[in-house]
Amino acid sequence: MDDIPKCPEWWSQLVWRIHFPIKIPGWKGPNPPHNRPQEMDQIYQGLAVHTMTFSMKDQKAAQVIRTQLEESLTTLIKGLSRSH
């Protein structure tokens, strides 16, 4: 199994899991099987980006990004029941 380093305290666990997904021993495919819909990864990524916009220097641009993300996340979340 791959030796994945421990997530540093300063790095968001959410972002860490996107870069280092959980590995299932013996699985040969590109992504391990799991019981969550694929849209969940998009939601996690959107939440991570949304959070990071608060540290942007240009807060007007950050607000535009957050507004677009919130609309996208709302659509993704409402569609979760169809993706099971």
Is 41 inside a domain boundary? Answer: yes
Is 8 inside a domain boundary? Answer: no
Q: What is the pLDDT of residue 11?
A: 67
Arithmetic mean of pLDDT, 29-34: 59
Is 5 inside a domain boundary? Answer: no
User: Is residue 65 exposed (0-12), middle (13-18) or buried (19+ Cβ within 10 Å)?
Assistant: middle
User: Would the pLDDT of 24 be above 70?
Assistant: no
User: Would the pLDDT of 55 be above 80?
Assistant: yes
Q: What is the pLDDT of residue 27?
A: 65
- Place 40 in a pLDDT band, splitting at 50, 70 and 90: confident
- Place 43 in a pLDDT band, splitting at 50, 70 and 90: confident
Please give the residue range of the domain that contains residue 79. 13-21+35-83
Is 60 inside a domain boundary? Answer: yes
As a whole number of angstroms, the distance between CA 73 and CA 51 comes to 13
